[in-house]
Amino acid sequence: MNQNLFDLTGKVALITGASRGIGLAIAESFASYGAKVVLSSRKQEALDQAAEKIQTQGGEAFPFAAHTGDSESIRELVEKSVERFGGVDILVNNAATNPHFGPILTSEESHWDKILGVNLKGYFRTIKACTDSMIQRGGGKVINIASVAGLTYQQGMGIYGISKAGVIMLTKTLAVELAKDNIQVNAIVPGFIQTRFSQVLWETPENHEKIISMIPQGRMGQPEEVTGMALYLASAASSFTTGEIMILDGGQTAGNQI
């Protein structure tokens, strides 16, 4: 395959949840392939540090704090991105939250409101805010970060899993509805990736061993191992790929051990 298919030179990529973990790894990868990247999360200081890291590596990055749970914040984020770089070609929805860990019936309505407001409605808000720019630029790419928790039960992760199941259906629906506009919408479904966000799941030896026992490859994934699929879905190489759910889990769901 022609390597130029993966070149992102001239493209603008907006990544939410980009100050660390999977989001930052994807941003670094996109910048190394020529994209101008907009980094967004809730804390400006962390974003500034992430942008400086990318710039030190020769990339171009614009850090802008925004809360995906707030429509006005997202509107401003996209406006500033267009103002800075001229438009948005690629959107990576990665920002997520999970304030409740435990059985669903021990949760409060406030937990549902926050989790669905960020993990599902937040994705919808950001996509809606970006599509006009993508259409004006002839098309675009939307990459939604879901989770294997949206495919099968994971202990203590019920509401989070429901939100990620919603992301998967949001992806499929918008892939059909935006196909006429040359916008491809796909989802990446990571398994256990070792990040600060997932730390509650693996920080004790007992939990870590339990997780490892579920994964045929015998280890957790690292954020950088998500970037290859993200690059494919962001680039011209995936021009005939839309509505797909790409599972990256070390064989976890294939082994049916959850």
Q: Which helix (H) or strand (E) holds 183?
A: strand 183-190
Q: Within 13 Å, how many C-alpha atoms sit on residue 241's CB side?
A: 19
Question: Maximum distance among all alpha carbons in the chain?
Answer: 53
Q: Which helix (H) or strand (E) holds 84?
A: helix 71-85
Q: How far is CA 154 from the centre of its chain?
A: 20
Q: Find all residues with CB under 8 Å of 26, minimum gap 6, and list them.
A: 15, 18, 92, 94, 226, 227, 230
Q: Please give the single-letter amino acid code of residue 107.
A: S
Token pair belonging to 57? 């590596």
- Is residue 153 part of the annotated active site? The answer reads no
* Residue position matching structure tokens 């974003």: 47
In sequence order, which ranges of 178-241 are alpha helices (DSSP H)? 199-202, 205-214, 227-234
DSSP tally for the chain: helices H, then strands E: 10, 7
**Which is the catalytic residue, given 33, 123, 153, 160?**
160
Q: Single out the residue of 222, 138, 238, 122 nearest to residue 178, CA to CA.
A: 138
Q: Single out the residue of 192, 248, 256 nearest to residue 220, CA to CA.
A: 192
Active site members: 160
